Structure 1
């Protein structure tokens, strides 16, 4: 399910998908089309899609696991100089700030498995926040348009 608002003010993209890996591509393609119609710079869109792919994959693989009954809600709003993205899901609680940043000075063989995707999003996003709202995880990040 998706919706777009065309009222004055910030442009809004809203999409709800089943918590399945196979559904992520349809969401990102719908987002790409929405962003193109609003003339959002391709560089910003590509960054958002990379971050979404990582975060949504984590929700499906680690949050829902074998329980494919969950949904993931994604909302994107245009803001003054960029976009703000909100991801909401009812998977197991997971605060991405609760994991230590990986030691990227170590070789691949020496590093612990995991954590690089969240590290990547932390570095790529202009802002990144998490909160638990009752039984719902909410991750919010923003990305500015290129100068």
Structure 2
């Protein structure tokens, strides 16, 4: 993480592990943290013991996936599609802190009415055999951040 090294003197996370312990939901994407970072993963396990939800998004079924409350297997190379879907859901459902975005970020395009996403019905998203998007509106209640149903298969549709 060169940007963090330039800004803060080291290329590592800038939050404390206690933040992970107190999280309502933890999304681990493309990492087998349970095996590769066992000391750090104890904080994830502490969050789960307090009722937190662990979401594993990975094409491989790993030890982390086995411990997850929600496992979302996606096809290798479709992670950008998955992240785009998350962004779309957050913006479409107005589930972000607009005041914070205006005051503390450079994401002013979120406020421009001309900015938008192509409707996912014809794009590369997870669909059922009938072509209907499969998703769970988990951006609904505060504190709920799991963004995909268990077992959804992500495929590139051409």
Scaled to the shorter chain, the TM-score interval is under 0.3
- TM-score with structure 2 setting the length: 0.26
More strand by percentage: 1
- TM-score with structure 1 setting the length: 0.27
State which structure, 1 or 2, has the greater radius of gyration over its C-alpha atoms: 2
Q: Relative contact order: is structure 1 or structure 2 higher (C-alpha 8 Å, sep ≥ 6)?
A: 1
